[in-house]
Every structure is written in structure tokens, then in C-alpha cells.
Amino acid sequence: MELRAYIIRRLLLLIPVLFGVTVFIFGITMLFSPGQRATLYVSSPQQMRDLPAVIEQYGLDRPFFIQYGTWIGQVFRGNLGWSTVVSMPVAKAILHYLPATLELAMLATPLIILIGIFFGTKAAAHKDKPLDHGTRVVAILGWSLPTFWLGLLLMMIFYGYFHGLFPPGRLSIQMESFVSSGEFIRYTRINTIDAILNLNGPVLVDALRHLVLPVITISTVNVAFIMRLMRSSMLESLGKGYILTARAKGLDERIVIGKHARRNALIPVITVSGYLFAGLAGGAVITETIFSFKGIGWWASQSALRLDIPSVLGFALFMAVLFVLVNLVVDILYTRVDPRVRLGQGVQ
């Protein structure tokens, strides 16, 4: 009961935020003149001469909120416009490119979190020892690395120097045509999962080979953050009275660290992990672009480059909804991890 009321209240609070988000997103497009926006509806040179008619037909010169109302009405009916970059409706494009991105996020997120927690804990347990300094330097280097440059370097080595060991793209050409043939059933469009469901080894191996470099690229940049967060959270937790008690009782240091300190230190990491997954699921724009890994981030960057406004808007809207929902899930998760946290109240 308590939980349901909380979720309903939070979902209601979403309405003003999403209203603001949509006004803002729509506002960005209104920076274009009606003539520029009219060209989006034009498909032939003949129509180009009739731009005023197009503006008239779609009401592109009407007041802001009337146009906004028309647009939001379309959005509610699931019509986000047409993506010229990939020649399909925007809503369909999001569904089409999402599985690839989810695949990347599903592999990278656990990897990032586990490595981050492991080294973060170690660093805190060995504060001011060489291990701590070492992980600190690695972390600072990690978040100073330009993602795109790291991706290029990895490709230079593992695609160039090792002659196509880990290629870009999602699947090699032969596998791609096999996968789209009738013999292979695409349950989820997530290649690795589909390959397992079809009990097809070669497709699985091929898909994984294409995933290695993007996953490494995303992980390197993000692991540093989790590692540092875990370290400082762990240090705080290690300074608490119950740790002193546990040690005074003569408990094994491994249990003190692993059970008493780490469990309490995990709370902030959970919040950030939620955002991490949402961020990755929304498309690691740069990583996908570099490796031509055709996920939602790749689509978004292509759209932005070719000024395909409906696509950029649709993507931004999708991201905003995703972030707001993840935020809610994280808050609910809190109560499961830390019984002291009550919904809507924070730690008492």
C-alpha cells in the first residue's frame, strides 16, 4: 500500500517535469524559421516552390503553444515524425536501434560495476598504500581519456595491427545476411541472446567479437567513476562505530570489510549505477559512432549531423523519459537495500 501510493505520487510528479521537457525540446525546433521547418515536409522540387502553402497547411507560422499542442497531440498518438536519416518513422527507429544499444549496456554495466566495486573496496582498505595510489592514478587517467580517441586507438591496434581481430559493426557481412534469413529467428534483435536461443555458436562468437572493443571503450571511461565513488563511500563507512565494534570483537578483517563496511558503502553506488545504465541504454553516442555499432546512439549522432530534427527530438524525449523512470526505480531500490530509508523521507 505504502509503496503503491508512493509510486503513484512520483508518477504524478513526472507530469510537470515531462511537460517542461517537451516544451523545452519543442522550443529548440522553434529556433528554425517556418520556412526551414517546412522543408522537412517537402519531397519534390515542385513542392519546394510552394513552401508558403506547406507552411499554411501544417500551421508552421501559428503561435508557439498552438503548434506545441498539435505536436504533443501527435506524440501522444505515438507519432514522433519521420526520420530521414534511416527512412522510417522515428518511433520505429527507436525500437529498431534500441536492442543493439541494450546489448552493449547489458554487457558493459555489470562489468563496470563489479570492477569498480572490487577496486574501490581494495583502495579504501589500503588507504594511502601503493594500491590506493595506483588505482587513483588509473581512475584519473580513465576519466581524462577522450572516449573517441580511446576507441580509435583500440581499433588501430585490434582491427588494424592484428588484421581484423575485433572488427567494427555489429556482425560480419556473412553473418548479417544469415541472421536476416529465415533460418535464424530474431526473438529480441539482441544478437548474442538470439544466437543462444537459436543454439547457434558461430553467430554468438561473431557477435561477441564485435562487442569486445565497444565494451572495453565504454567500461574504461566509466569504471573510474564507480571506483572512486566506492572508495570514498567505503572510507566513510570504515570510519563508523560499528566497524570499530566489529574489529574490537576480533572479527576477521576480511569479514569486517566484506560484510560490515562494504554493504553499507554500496548505497551511493546503486544510485549511480542506475544512471549509468540509463546513460548507456540511451546510447553511448560516441562509442557507437566510432565502432559503427548501429544502436540508438549511432542513429542519434547521424541525425544530429544531418539536422534531422524529428529524430533528434524523438531521441531526446525518449532519453528524458528513460532518465526520469530510472530515477524512480533507483529510489524504490534504496528501500530494499537500506531498511533505514523510508519512501519519500530519506535516511532517518
Partner 1 sequence: MSDWKFMARQLVKNPLSLAGLIIIAIFVIVAIFAPLIAPTPEGHRDAYLIPRDGYSATPQPPSEEHIFGTTEGQYDIFYGVIWGTRSAFRVALVVMAITIVIGIALGSLAGYFGGLLDEVIMRITDIFLAFPALILAMAIVSAIGPSLKSVMIALCVVWWPSYARLIRGDILQLREEDYVEASRGLGASSGRVIVRHVLPNAIYPSLIMASLDIGAVVLSAAALSFLGLGSPEGYADWGQMTQFARNWIVGPHNEPLKYWYAVITPGLFILFFVLGWNLLGDAFRDILDPRLARR
Q: Which residues bind partner 1 (CB under 8 A)?
A: 16-17, 20-21, 24-25, 28-29, 31-32, 136-137, 140-141, 143-149, 152-153, 155-156, 159-161, 163, 232, 235-236, 239, 278-279, 282-283, 285-286, 289-290, 300-301, 303-305, 307, 309, 312-313, 315-316, 319-320, 323-324
Q: How far is the CB of 245 from partner 1 (least distance, A)?
A: 20
Judged by CB, which is closer to partner 1: 160, or 201?
A: 160
Q: Is 83 helix (H, G, I), strand (E, B) or coil?
A: strand
Q: Is the CB of 75 or the CB of 300 nearer to partner 1?
A: 300
Minimum CB–partner distance for residue 95 and partner 1 (Å): 18
CA distance linking residue 98 with residue 119, whole number of Å:
31
Which residue number, 141 or 329, has a Cβ lying nearer to partner 1?
Answer: 141
Give the nearest distance from C-beta 79 to partner 1 in angstroms.
Answer: 19
By C-beta, is 219 or 287 nearer to partner 1? 287
With H, G, I as helix, E, B as strand and everything else as coil, classify residue 347.
strand
Least distance from C-beta 221 to partner 1, angstroms?
10
Nearest distance in Å: CB 101, partner 1? 13
Closer of 136 and 342 to partner 1 (Cβ): 136
Residue closer to partner 1 (CB basis): 135 or 191: 135
Q: What CA–CA distance (Å, rounded) separates 195 from 203? A: 6
In this structure, which long-range contacts are made by residues 326-335, counting pairs with CB atoms below 8 Å and at least 24 apart in sequence?
326/274, 326/275, 326/277, 326/278, 327/274, 328/7, 328/10, 328/11, 328/14, 329/274, 330/270, 330/271, 330/274, 330/275, 331/10, 332/3, 332/6, 332/7, 333/270, 333/274, 334/267, 334/270, 334/271, 335/3
- To partner 1, the closest distance from the beta carbon of 226 in angstroms equals 15
**Contact (CB, 8 A) for 150 and 223:** no
Cβ 321 to partner 1, closest distance in Å? 9
Question: What CA–CA distance (Å, rounded) separates 184 from 194?
Answer: 8
Compare residues 41 and 148 and give the one whose CB is closer to partner 1.
148
Euclidean distance between the first and the last CA atom of the chain, given in angstroms as a whole number: 21
- By C-beta, is 304 or 343 nearer to partner 1? 304
Q: Is 293 exposed, middle or buried (0-12, 13-18, 19+ CB in 10 A)?
A: buried
Q: How far is the CB of 14 from partner 1 (least distance, A)?
A: 10
Residue 287: CA count within 13 A, CB half-sphere? 30
* Grid coordinates belonging to 236: 566513510
At how many degrees (to 10) do helices 90-125 and 201-238 cross?
50
